Amino acid sequence: MKISIILVTKNAGKQFAELLSKLHQQEPKPLEIIVIDSGSTDGTVEIASKNGCKMYEIPPQEFHHGKTRNYGASLALGDCVVFLSQDVAPVNNFLLYKLTLPLEENQVAGVYGRQIAYPDADPIEKFFYLHFYAHAGTIRLTKADCENKNLFYVKYAFTSDACAALRKSVWEQFKFSETVLMAEDKQWALDVLTAGYTLIYEPTAEVFHSHSYPPLEKLSSDDLMTGWHKNKSVAVLVELGHWAKNILLNSSNTCLSTINVHC
């Protein structure tokens, strides 16, 4: 299987060169690494170019989570498209192998890896990743799992394109929504599951990934509409909000025990 990696970037920071180095060490090696940048000023573009990436730049105002990822996928030559966030770090050199192996089954449209909070992440971040990204056991999602869409967003938050492998032929049928502000990955998951495909969560495909978010009151309206990491911070708050609402509406011993375990 030929693998195209898509990285959507803006001011990826000092760790970006290390990420690219780790991607080049992966087995199997990717066919290409495509970088779509939307206005970096910190040398991200230069780092990508020096590391052999196919570099594409778009104006910052044209960035959109779904639209920009669709653009990246349209450029891909591989039959498997791997999306990674600019700030992840593969745990080992077998990320691509573990992430793409389930795609050998024709019915599987996409595979999601396990995201682990960085050791220096704050407690809320560690709670989020520990709760939503199970550390043992492959999970298979089918059409039956998306009958309750509100519950889907809560229970299967791991359907994230921060670390995901998609079959390109399926993406060509079901592109990311270009009308939703964020959570384009969740909408894509619902679309393909509804169509009868299978999705896989593979916890042995591991990356480190977490953020230090600013207080919500510091976010301006422009940030909420166009900001890169800040959009993602709001997405995390939305996810946690749905989860909390579900607990309140469906209070049970199971839910309560979950709080006790992870808080």
Is residue 237 very low, low, confident or very high in pLDDT (cuts 50, 70, 90)? low
Distance CA 63, CA 80 (A): 23
pLDDT surpassing 50 at residue 131: yes
Does residue 221 have a pLDDT over 80? no
Distance, in Å, from the CA atom of 184 to the CA atom of 164, rounded to the nearest integer, reads 13
Whether 80 shows a pLDDT value over 90: the answer reads yes
Check residue 149 and give its pLDDT: 87
- Strongest mean pLDDT among 95-99, 224-228, 254-258: 95-99
Asked whether residue 248 carries a pLDDT value surpassing 70, the answer given is no
What domains are there in the chain, each with its CATH number?
A: 3-212 (3.90.550.10)
Go through 191-211 and write b for each residue having 16 or more CB atoms within 10 A of its CB, e for each that does not. bbbeeebbbbbbbbbbbbbbb
Report how far residue 64's alpha carbon sits from residue 72's, in angstroms, rounded to the nearest whole number.
Answer: 12
Q: What are the pLDDT digits (tens) for 35-51? A: 999 999 999 999 999 99
State the Cα–Cα distance between residues 6 and 36, nearest whole angstrom: 8
Q: Does 238 have pLDDT greater than 90?
A: no
Terminal CA-to-CA distance of the chain, rounded, Å? 41
Q: Is the pLDDT of residue 224 over 80?
A: no
Determine the 3-state secondary structure of 125 from DSSP. Answer: helix
pTM higher than the cut 0.95 = no
How far apart CA 98 and CA 88 sit, in angstroms, is: 16
Above 80 in pLDDT, residue 260?
A: no
Residue 89's nearest CA partner among 116, 111, 69 is: 116
Query: Tens digit of pLDDT for each residue in 101-117?
Result: 999 999 999 999 999 99
Strand 198-208 to strand 89-90: parallel, antiparallel, or no bridges (unpaired)? antiparallel
**In whole angstroms, what is the distance from residue 7 CA to residue 38 CA?**
11
pLDDT for 150: 84
Give the CB-side neighbour count of residue 207, counting CA atoms within 13 A. 27
